[in-house]
Amino acid sequence: MEKFTLERSDALLLVIDIQERLVAAMKYGDQMIENTKVLVEVAKVMDFPTVVTEQYPKGIGPTVPELASLLDKNMFFEKVTFTGCTEDVVAAIKKLGRKKVIITGTETHVCVLQTTRDLLKLGYEVFIVRDAVCSRSKTNYKAGLELLANMGAVITTTEVVVFDLLKQSATPEFKQISKLIK
């Protein structure tokens, strides 16, 4: 059951390619942004790191402003590969020493899938937040999630992640975080 349990001391949030021009083409892009914002705030409150990838930002645009304003610019990594597991990203994740990677972003069946596959090969446990990833089509979204589950990723939701990390309600963190998920 350890595979399905999140602990803040071992967690890392990876935000993949939530960029202006990509989001504009996504089905449920607004939901993805809102749920990613919740997870970014949870990471801040619970003090675990967030890493961000941007796919060719000169052409696709930067991370959407409503997320970019919440994130540490030192943890942004540009890429031109579909996988987010570039040398720089893998080095940053290794340096952070976390083994459980919570993933949000676009597109479920492309960059999210290829990044997850590479992280699993490297021995990381990956949690795909199904209400914080998306694709342009429902068919590709569903196919991506199915492949991700078959690869060994844990398919979850924003609230499952939040409450698994919190563990209990009798904490000041719960009061802060509960406001985010109403």
Q: Which amino acids are annotated catalytic? A: 17, 79, 111
Q: 60 with 22: CB under 8 angstroms?
A: yes
Name the DSSP letter for residue 3: G
Q: How would you classify residue 28: left for phi > 0, otherwise alpha for psi between -120 and 50, otherwise beta?
A: left
Spatial contact of 99 and 125, defined as CB atoms under 8 Å apart = yes
Phi-psi region of 103 (alpha: psi -120 to 50; beta: other; left: phi over 0): beta
Give yes or no for a contact between 135 and 106, defined as CB atoms under 8 angstroms apart.
yes
Pair type for strands 50-55 and 76-79: parallel
